[in-house]
Amino acid sequence: MSHDRLECAAQIREQGFRVTPQRLLLLDAICEGNGHTTFDEIYERVKSKAPGINQATVYRSLDFLCELRLVVSAEIEGRTVYEIAGETPHHHLVCRKCGAVQDLADFHFEELRSHLLEEHGFKTDLDHMVLNGLCAGCMKNQS
C-alpha cells in the first residue's frame, strides 16, 4: 500500500531516465489518494506543493510512469484514474447508480485467466479491471 520513493527512483534511473522532482511529486500525489486518483486530483495536489508545474508535464509524466509500470491506469466511468503499481493486484466494482468504488481481490479472476490461456491461448492482463453494476445499497433502494 505504500510506495517507496527510493525504489521508484532507482527503477527510473536504472532504465536510463531521470529522477526529477516533478516525477517524485507525482508519485506522492497518486499515493495520497484512496487508490483511484483522477488527473485533476493529481494536478491539484502537485500544484499545491509546486505551483509552477505545468499540465503538460503532468500528462507526459503520467504516461511515462505508466510505461515504466510504476503506475497503472484504469477507465472508470469515462475518466482515467491512476494508482501506484506493485500493490497486490486488484480490481474495481463501480456502482453505476451511486458511483461508489470498491476494490475486488484478484483471486476471483484466477480461474478465468487460466481458462482463457488454456482454451484460447490468450494471455489476459486482467489487471485493474473495472466492473460496473449495482451495489448492494442501491439494489435495496431500487426494489
Partner DNA sequence: ATTACTGCAAAGGATTTGCATGTGA
Partner DNA sequence: TCACATGCAAATCCTTTGCAGTAAT
* Among a second copy, DNA, none, partner that 43 touches (CB below 5 to 8 angstroms by kind): none
User: Which residues in the 40-69 window bind a second copy by CB under 8 A?
Assistant: none
* Among DNA, a second copy, none, partner that 133 touches (CB below 5 to 8 angstroms by kind): a second copy
Cα 31 to the center of its chain, rounded Å: 10
CA-to-CA dists, residue 89 to 19, 20, 68, angstroms: 26, 27, 17
* Among DNA, a second copy, none, partner that 20 touches (CB below 5 to 8 angstroms by kind): DNA
Distance between CA atoms of residues 49 and 36, nearest Å: 20
Q: Are 91 and 103 in contact (CB under 8 A)?
A: yes
Backbone phi, psi, residue 85, to 5°:
-80, 175
Cell numbers 505508466 correspond to what residue?
A: 66
Number of residues that bind DNA (CB under 7 A): 24
Q: Which stretch binds DNA (CB under 7 A): 9-17, 96-104, 110-118, 132-140?
A: 9-17
Residue 37 found at the interface with DNA (CB under 7 A): no
User: Which residues in the 40-99 window bind DNA by CB under 7 A?
Assistant: 50, 52-57, 59-61, 63-64, 80
Tell me which of 5, 99, 115, 141 binds a second copy, using CB under 8 A.
Answer: 115
Distance between CA atoms of residues 14 and 31, nearest Å: 22
Of 50 and 139, CB closest to a second copy: 139
Cell of 105: 481481490
Minimum CB separation of residue 41 from DNA in Å reads 12
